[in-house]
Amino acid sequence: MKIAVSISVALGLTVLLAFSALADNSGRIYGKLYTVDGGVFEGLIRWDKNEGNWVDVLDGTKDRDSRRGRSKYRSSRRKYNSGVKIFGWDLGSTSYTVYTGASQSGVRFGHIKELEVIDDDLVLLTMKSGEEIELTNGSTDIGSAIREIVIEDLDEGEIEFSWDDLDRIEFSAATTDEPSVFGERLYGTLTTRRGDEYTGFVCWDIDELFTEDILDGKEKRRKRKLEFGKIAAIERYSSSGALIELKSGEEMTLRGTNDVDSDNSGIVISDPGFGQIEVEWDEFDRLEFSKPGKQISYDKFNGGKKLRGTVYTEDGEEYTGTICWDDDEEYTWEILDGDYRDMEFKIELGLVKSIEKNSYRSSTVTVWDGREFRLRGCNDVDEDNKGIFVTLDDGDEAEIDWEDFERVEFSK
């Protein structure tokens, strides 16, 4: 009888251990990678070292070449004149505005169905909605400057690819519950020196993402290499050091590397509720690691749709229809950029409830969960905005200039 009970307990422990070893990879970037020489690999993907989850942003640059005819409802204060004037006489003029060039762009990986390499620094993205968009290298995320693309192939294990290897990637929900070689994604709450708190998935020094990644530093004359999975919290000690609290209860002050001083490239929090925030060392106070409440899976992203809402002017006019913001962003997956103190915000427009102009230099952005951010430092939210275009239901187009703009309220 005792032998039978012992066997039963042993089997129960074995089953429990087997289940505890399974990983929840639903939030991780996953897909099938095709190489230029015909190879096919499938598994979890780590992109450019600092993206590993569907909530992370693929950064790039989007070409813009728009020629706007004079709108029926063009705001009255802005004057356009592309002709030549001599002694007060107009010698030919046109009534359109031309914007050319490129603009910063980005998209959270969860919206992408397929990524195809077109050139050394150009990709074609097919969104889940079926829309296609070309992005060029606005960062190290696209092009030969990418630091690495690592796939944990189901058969061959961890494989690193260069940009020249890549033909295309088909993204999909993860089909494996095997633990990642990198460990679990870092998650926690960051507190700024002004007391603001942001919670989400963590990227430390624009480099370290997972519990198996290493934080480097020097304790007195000794070099220390700490796995992030063993760290409970990191607190800014000064411009040249950080206090590290381990889960074991041990504490130490580290210096001497960009992981723990003002040379840190930035701490990124990917918050599913609005997008992404990057905090510089001078604004950083403390980061406490924790377990994520839930993963944000691939099926939570819809690939985006046209922006729609109502734009209000300072003169009391209002226009409802599909919106092109800053003569550039047209879809809910696109990113609104702005700065606040020593922090850089990237907010997905589909998560924005409203934008209200405070002045020529700043705007208040409210997201659907009620949080507000007063942002500046980017043409998305200041006087350098290139115009808000609203296509009305009758087909007419209204253009609202920043000096006339009051606020916009987006539809869900």
pLDDT digits (tens, 9 = 90+) for 211-252: 999 999 999 889 999 999 999 999 999 999 999 999 999 999
What is the mean pLDDT of the segment spanning 137-165? 93
Residue 26 φ/ψ region, left for φ over 0, alpha for ψ in the -120 to 50 degree band, beta for the rest: alpha
Residue 326 φ/ψ region, left for φ over 0, alpha for ψ in the -120 to 50 degree band, beta for the rest: left
Indicate the pLDDT class of residue 102, thresholds 50, 70 and 90.
low
- Nearest CA to 246 out of 258, 257, 235 is that of 235
Give the model confidence (pLDDT) of 15-36 as tens digits.
333 344 789 999 999 999 999 9
- With a cut of 60, say whether residue 67 has pLDDT above it: no
Which residues make Cβ contacts (< 8 Å) with residue 71, sequence separation at least 6? 389, 396, 397, 398, 399
Angle at 405 between CA 399 and CA 410, to 5 degrees: 85
What is the rounded distance in angstroms from the CA atom of residue 29 to the CA atom of residue 354?
A: 30
What pLDDT was estimated at residue 64? 64
Indicate the pLDDT class of residue 114, thresholds 50, 70 and 90.
very high
Angle at 235 between CA 230 and CA 240, to 5 degrees: 110
In angstroms, how far apart are the furthest CA atoms of the chain?
112
Tell me the CA distances in angstroms from 222 to 34, 205, 235, 246, 254, one per residue in order: 44, 21, 20, 17, 10
- With a cut of 90, say whether residue 181 has pLDDT above it: yes
What is the mean pLDDT of the segment spanning 73-81? 39
What is the rounded distance in angstroms from the CA atom of residue 145 to the CA atom of residue 395?
A: 43
What is the rounded distance in angstroms from the CA atom of residue 299 to the CA atom of residue 139?
A: 27
Mean pLDDT for the chain?
Answer: 88
What pLDDT was estimated at residue 71? 40
- With a cut of 80, say whether residue 403 has pLDDT above it: yes
DSSP code for 71 = P
Give the model confidence (pLDDT) of 317-362 as tens digits.
999 999 999 999 999 999 999 999 889 999 999 999 999 999 999 9
- With a cut of 50, say whether residue 285 has pLDDT above it: yes
What pLDDT was estimated at residue 104? 81
What is the mean pLDDT of the segment spanning 188-216? 97
What pLDDT was estimated at residue 101? 58
Helix (H, G, I), strand (E, B) or coil at 23: coil
What is the rounded distance in angstroms from the CA atom of residue 59 to the CA atom of residue 307?
A: 20
DSSP-derived pairing of the beta strands 149-153 and 157-161: antiparallel
Please, are residues 405 and 325 in contact by the beta-carbon 8 Å criterion?
no
What pLDDT was estimated at residue 221? 84
What is the rounded distance in angstroms from the CA atom of residue 180 to the CA atom of residue 157?
A: 10
Residue 173 has a CB neighbour count (10 Å cut-off) of 13
